[in-house]
Amino acid sequence: MLMRLGRWLRLLGLDVANPKESSDCELMRQARDESRTIITRDKRLFWACLGAGIKCVLIRSSKISDQLMEMSTMGVVLQLDPKRCTLCNSLLLEVASNSSRMWQCPACKKLYWQGGHWEKMERMLESIRSCKERDATQYS
């Protein structure tokens, strides 16, 4: 449901597992076994987690920039940090390169580098950060 947000959170260096199963019970079991926080837009799952003592974040927006904003109000730092493969969550290894810095996923072999797409992502995070600051001054 929030796979795109999951990929973005990995770009920020966070350890975000892909759910192994889609049923709520299995998801909650995985969260408990791996001491993870569930991120969901499903209110029913959110309340079930609260009842079971499993940490859960309820995301309200459907737009990725708003979802990232919600995560940032919860303390997630909106700064690109290439540590995790966005597809499989494995820890990346830096590889030698004669131009920009490069990383590779040891599991799925996906390559990461700081190219034009990187600047685009930086700009998006920057605009969310400045939006947040504007809100903060507005309400203080």
Query: Which of 48/105 has CB closer to Zn ion?
Result: 105
H/E run at residue 79: none
User: CA–CA separation, 31 vs 20, rounded Å?
Assistant: 10
Question: Which residue pairs from 107-112 have beta carbons closer than 8 angstroms and sit at least 24 positions apart in sequence?
Answer: 110/85, 110/86, 112/82, 112/85, 112/86
Residues found near Zn ion in the complex (CB under 5 A): 85, 87-88, 90, 105, 107-108
Residue 84, φ and ψ in degrees, nearest 5: -120, 145
Q: Measure the CA angle with vertex 125, ends 2 and 5; round to 5°.
A: 5
Query: Which of 76/87 has CB closer to Zn ion?
Result: 87
Q: How far is the CB of 89 from Zn ion (least distance, A)?
A: 7
Q: How far is the CB of 3 from Zn ion (least distance, A)?
A: 14
Q: How far is the CB of 103 from Zn ion (least distance, A)?
A: 10
Q: How far is the CB of 117 from Zn ion (least distance, A)?
A: 17
Query: Which of 76/88 has CB closer to Zn ion?
Result: 88
Query: Which of 104/114 has CB closer to Zn ion?
Result: 104
Pairing outcome for strands 111-113 and 56-58: unpaired
